[in-house]
A = this chain, B = another copy of it.
Amino acid sequence: MTDESRQARWESRTEALLAVASLLYLTSYAVQVLASGLPRAWRDVCLAVLCAAWALFAVDYAVRWRLSGQGLRFVRGHWLDTVVLVLPLLRPLRVVHVYEAVQRRHGRPRLTLHARVVTYAGLSALLLGFTGALAVYQHEHAAQGATIRTFGDAVWWTAATLSTVGYGDVAPVTPVGRLVAVGVMLGGLALLGAVTGSFSSWLLQVFAREDEKRPPER
């Protein structure tokens, strides 16, 4: 059996497990951040889930590295996986892929490319926004001179940032909060690029189709 196929088999087998683990990771992180009045026992459960999920991600990364037989080149070639290993909060973004896989498996026709781009961009923005709001809320809500005091403020701030509107009525003040903010800004830039790019290419397609229908007149 070749390395390639063993890698593919590993990935197809662990796909669902890892997707569940990443959603569990996000959920327990959210519970820990938001439910400040939780009894100690539940907090420990959340922490255990966080650690277990992360250990799973690390094992998966190590196995795939091993199976690839590539050495350090693997780290550079799979830089997205490496980033996701260090920042496991971003892992749920991969659920978008799983969603497509599920659709295909059930024999439904795949969405057209435009609808897929819009769906991906929307789902990614939602997930990134929720993650960003959680992280910013965690680091900001107790800081001195903070304007982001409730989770509602954090969500509001995230929406204003992702759409690149940026009112500034609430804004992070701690270094870590601002670092998270830069990540959300990058997501906003990408979202804007996805919306604009989709619209632009959709328009061009419509034009091309209209040109084909009509005889050239001008």
Contact = CB atoms under 8 A, between A and B. Distances in A.
B196 A192 contact: yes
Contacts of A117: 203
A68 interface: no
B201 A203 contact: yes
Contacts of A2: none
Contact of A193 (B152, B166, B188, B198): B198
Interface string A126-156: 0000000000000000000000000010001
Interface in A155-190: 156, 159-161, 163-169, 171, 173, 175, 178, 181-182, 185-186, 188-190
Contacts of A204: 201, 204
A159 B197 CA distance: 23
Which secondary structure dominates chain A's binding surface? helix
A205 B203 CA distance: 11
A101 to B, nearest CB: 19
Given A156-B178, A163-B186, 19 more contacts: A113-B203, A117-B203, A161-B165, A163-B185, A164-B164, A164-B165, A165-B188, A168-B168, A192-B192, A192-B195, A193-B195, A193-B198, A194-B199, A196-B196, A196-B197, A197-B201, A200-B201, A201-B204, A204-B204
